[in-house]
Amino acid sequence: MAESVTIVDNRTGEAVEIPIVNGGVDAGAFQKLLPGIWFFDPAFGATAAASSSITELDGEAGILRYRGYPIEQLAEQSTYLEVAYLLIHGELPTAAQYDSWSHEITHHTFIHENVRKRFMEGFHHDAHPMGMLVSAIAALSTFYPEAKDIDDPSVRMKQIIRLIAKMPTLAAGAHRFSVGMPFVYPDNDLDFPSNFLSMMWKIAEPHYEADPVLSRALDVLFILHADHEQNCSTTAMRTVGSSHADPYSATAAAAAALYGPRHGGANEAVIRMLTEIGSYENVDDFVASVKAGDRRMQGFGHRVYKSYDPRAAIIKKTADEVFEVTGKNPLLDIALKLEEVALSDDYFISRKLYPNVDFYSGLIYQSMGFPLEMFTVLFAIPRTSGWLAHWLEGLEQNVRITRPRQLYVGVDQREYQPIEQRG
Ligand SMILES: CC(=O)SCCNC(=O)CCNC(=O)[C@H](O)C(C)(C)COP(=O)(O)OP(=O)(O)OC[C@H]1O[C@@H](n2cnc3c(N)ncnc32)[C@H](O)[C@@H]1OP(=O)(O)O
Ligand SMILES: O=C([O-])CC(=O)C(=O)O
């Protein structure tokens, strides 16, 4: 790989050597050597906005690794809580570290009664659970004012544990409220995914017995969704974190970014799309409307993956295990047909559009009984550990505040006219 690129300054005709650092043009050196020239990259398609040692993504080869561990191995052998530890601390925990980590997380699952009573129960009866979640996360910052002291590493870690622990409680609380069911307190005898399932579905004391296959499937989905380098929501997290706002406010911003249908909201949109297609026979017409540019194929395409998303392959396999318990999701055949048609069509091939993580996950969630509105919430629970790992990394790197420039395209200076003189 070249160590520098030569750029000719067309204002002066001078050639300038700009160093390349880790495969990217060093923007700091660029700015010093060519002051007054900006990179115009509004969607960051050609910009590395961070240096990070958390997640490695090779979109051409379809490779995803957390801290060097292939996603396939983690999905097969690990648990979400172990992966969360790995993302935050950089190494897999020893048995003693894992015990202490899961003990800490388990004992921070409760939320303040006012969050439940005043916030969650204060929403309109048909509030979207994702909107409730975003607001409740932001509200947590007012319950833990010490979180502002982000210079103290022990304060940072305490908030990380609280946030990872409380997300399932907030998520299930949002669901229970939206269907008019009473709130269920965490059952700290249960593991992370089973506790969440208990808070979602429990109707009678003393315990909710989660099906072990479904509980494990949910844990695998949590592992797969935990991090994905500089995606839109993580970029929001790092941006807000760079202003040294507290981690609850930064996480609320990240969750808000995830809510959008181009990002985490796509899992909900996929099921709506499959339901609208309705039957196997309508797939060709639907694909034609996508190719005509009338709509997008939800759950397809990715800014980084230009081959099959490795998580989609694992989710497909997990779906088979879930359907053994729940019965096959009737939308599966439409999804498979859609994939088959798309992957043999030049429109999708030439644009390298493949199923992404959101394409098959919704089929599992739906078969497990989650309402559509909960799908993005299910994504936010594990992505919280990734967001926080990036937040911590940014603080440890003491990154500068995120502050891009713009290309001003408005009018030049003009004179103010009093209102009566304006035509
Ligand atoms: C967890 C996640 O966030 S994963 C992504 C979840 N989002 C979705 O599944 C929504 C559907 N997908 C999309 O909208 C996009 O593929 C995104 C947002 C994921 C990525 O967008 P970008 O990287 O900006 O790709 P961009 O919009 O430039 O598309 C490139 C080309 O592929 C086409 N394209 C991209 N995605 C799709 C799609 N899902 N269906 C049809 N065409 C598509 C575009 O129309 C464009 O074609 P053109 O070159 O003829 O104009
Ligand atoms: O990386 C992205 O752009 C989207 C994302 O979060 C993911 O695929 O998990």
- AA identity, residue 132: M
Choice among 128, 302, 309, 390 that is catalytic: 302
pLDDT of residue 222: 98
What average pLDDT score do residues 385-408 get? Answer: 96
Residue 1, pLDDT > 80, answer no
Asked if 89 is an active-site residue, the reply is no
How far is the C-alpha of 34 from the C-alpha of 10, rounded, in Å? 11
Give the number of whichever ligand sits closest to the CA of residue 262: 1
**How do residues 45-75 score in pLDDT, each as one tens digit?**
999 999 999 999 999 999 999 999 999 999 9
The answer to whether 161 and 105 are in contact (CB under 8 A) is yes
Exposed, middle or buried by CB within 10 Å (0-12, 13-18, 19+), for 188? middle
Question: For 310, how many CA atoms within 13 A lie in the half-sphere containing its CB?
Answer: 20
State the Cα–Cα distance between residues 187 and 181, nearest whole angstrom.
Answer: 17
Q: What is the pTM of this model?
A: 0.95
Residue spans per domain, the chain: 4-57
| ipTM of model | 0.97
So what's the pLDDT on residue 274?
98
β-bridge pairing 4-9 and 14-21 = antiparallel
Q: Cα of 228 to ligand 2 centre, how many Å?
A: 5
How is residue 16 annotated by DSSP? E
Q: Residue 28 — very low, low, confident or very high, per pLDDT cuts 50/70/90?
A: confident
DSSP symbols for 227-253: --TT-HHHHHHHHHHTTT--HHHHHHH
pLDDT of residue 333: 94
Res 134 pLDDT > 90: yes
Per-residue pLDDT, 250: 98
Q: How many CA atoms lie within 13 A of 311 on its CB side?
A: 25
Q: How far is the centre of ligand 1, averaged over its atoms, from the C-alpha of 292 (Å)?
A: 14
Mutate-to-test residue for ligand 1 from 300, 309, 341, 358, highest number of ligand atoms within 8 A of CB: 300
* CA 117/CA 44 separation, integer angstroms: 41
Name the residue with the closest Cα to ligand 1, atom 14: 262
Q: What is the pLDDT of residue 2?
A: 82
Ligand nearest to the CA of residue 233, numbered in listed order: 2
Question: What is the phi/psi pair of residue 300, to 5°?
Answer: -120, 145
For residue 91, what pLDDT is reported? 98
Q: What does the pLDDT read at residue 423?
A: 85
Q: Output the pLDDT for position 38.
A: 87
Show the tokens assigned to 87.
């993302």
pLDDT of residue 212: 97
Q: Which residues line ligand 2 (CB under 6 A)?
A: 228, 231, 302-304, 356-357
Q: Which residues does residue 21 pair with via DSSP β-bridges, in sequence order?
A: 24
DSSP string, 243-284: TT--HHHHHHHHHHHHHSTTTTTHHHHHHHHHHHH-SGGGHH
Q: What is the dihedral of CA 43, 58, 71, 379, to 10 degrees?
A: 10
Per-residue pLDDT at 9 exceeds 90: no
Indicate which ligand has the atom closest to the C-alpha of 311: 2
Mean pLDDT of the chain: 95
Write out pLDDT tens, residues 198-219: 999 999 888 899 999 999 999 9
In degrees, rounded to 5, the angle at the alpha carbon of residue 295 between the alpha carbons of residues 265 and 377 is 5
List, for residues 253-299, the tens digit of each pLDDT value: 999 999 999 999 999 999 999 999 999 899 999 999 999 999 999 99
Query: What's residue 206's pLDDT?
Result: 82
Q: Whose CA is nearest to atom 2 of ligand 2?
A: 231
At residue 362 the predicted structure's pLDDT band, cuts being 50, 70 and 90, is very high
Distance CA 269, CA 287 (A): 16
Cα–Cα distance measured from residue 208 to residue 197, given in angstroms and rounded to the nearest whole number: 8
Verify whether residue 390 is a known catalytic residue.
no
